[in-house]
Amino acid sequence: AKAAGRDQLVCYDTQLRTRHLAQARMVDRLRDALEHDQLSVYYQPVVDFANDRWVTVEALARWETDEWSVSPDQFIPVAEDSGLIVALGTWVLRKACRDAAGWHRDHGTRLAVNVSVHQLREADFAAVVRTALADSGLPPGALSLEITESVLVGAGTQRTQAIAHLTELRAAGVVVAIDDFGTGFSSLSYLRTLPIDTIKIDRAFVPCAQTEDPQQVAMVRAIVELARGLGLGTVVEGVETSAQATVLKRLGCELGQGYHYGRPVPADVISATLAPENQP
């Protein structure tokens, strides 16, 4: 048994080393891709349940070529662990603001960008956002920053820094949303203390419309009620069918996002879809 144990240990160690190597290689290649402009940004529509109109597009980072692609669920964690997420996040923000400025000017479309907790801990984050807005011409009120509950984790000074950035940007008109709401483990009290405007309900809560699981429905209803009571907006993600859209709309969700309305697509596809001849 002892020998088997050691074998397992050796095997585990090798696997771990392989993984570390793979990870290190991925960081190098990602840094390279970032330097050589080989990343791209896709956009997914967020619609108003009341009229099915696109109100916002969410910017989502992509790393792909004609031959292969790496999913964000793989490279974003690597970027987070290596600290590269700060440069990557700034690149996405600047690119997305440039793309979205015209959409906002011509169609009133707003932009949502994901922000890592590592970005919020940088001393110059608010300045980076203000510069991206000024350089692109996108008004502050047209930008939402999507953050996660993890801003509450970490040393007190880092949290204070993050909250100071969000407070400053909100004062300038930028909207702050809590992403993946309901999947973290913190208490709900932060909803009153964090400077936020909107709750983005994680797709784990979206009821499967065929069964309309009463417990799922009760959860969404409670979250919507909570948001309303606190004066916060609601977006629900992972809307895949029109039946789900109907249920979520009835439950009082304001905005929805998901494959039912459109998958993430390159900027030129968004431009073409927003063109007047394609509007209902």
Stretch that binds ligand C2E, among 26-34, 85-93, 133-141, 190-198 (CB under 6 A): 85-93
Convert 224-258 to b/e letters by CB count within 10 Å (16 or more is b).
beebeeeebbbbbbbbeeeebbebbbebebbbbbb
Number of residue whose CB is nearest Ca ion? 146
Q: Is 149 an interacting residue with respect to Ca ion (CB under 5 A)?
A: no
Which option in ligand C2E, Ca ion, none does residue 256 bind, with CB closer than 5 to 8 A by kind? none
Q: Is 207 an interacting residue with respect to ligand C2E (CB under 6 A)?
A: no
CB 230 within 8 A of CB 197: no
CB 242 within 8 A of CB 220: no
Smallest distance, Å, CB 12 to ligand C2E?
Answer: 28
Number of residue whose CB is nearest ligand C2E? 258
Q: What is the DSSP string of 200-263?
A: EE-GGG---TTTT-HHHHHHHHHHHHHHHHTT-EEEEE---SHHHHHHHHHTT--EEESTTT--
Tell me which amino acid residue 183 is. Answer: T
Contacting residue, 33, 47, 76, 138, with ligand C2E by CB under 6 A: 76
* Closer residue to ligand C2E in complex, CB, 76/100: 76
Gyration radius of the chain over CA positions:
20
2-41 residues in contact with ligand C2E (CB under 6 A) are none
* SS3 of residue 116 by DSSP: coil
How many residues bind ligand C2E, per CB under 6 A?
Answer: 24
What is the CA angle 159-162-165, rounded to 5? 150
Can you tell me which residue has the tokens 């979205």?
100
| Residue 225-254 contact track with ligand C2E, rule CB under 6 A, x = bound | ------------xxxx--------------
CB 249 within 8 A of CB 49: yes
Q: Is 61 an interacting residue with respect to ligand C2E (CB under 6 A)?
A: yes
Smallest distance, Å, CB 244 to ligand C2E?
Answer: 9
Contacting residue, 99, 149, 179, 254, with Ca ion by CB under 5 A: 179
Binding site for ligand C2E (CB under 6 A): 44, 60-61, 71-73, 76, 85, 89, 92, 114, 116, 146, 179-180, 203, 237-240, 257-259, 264
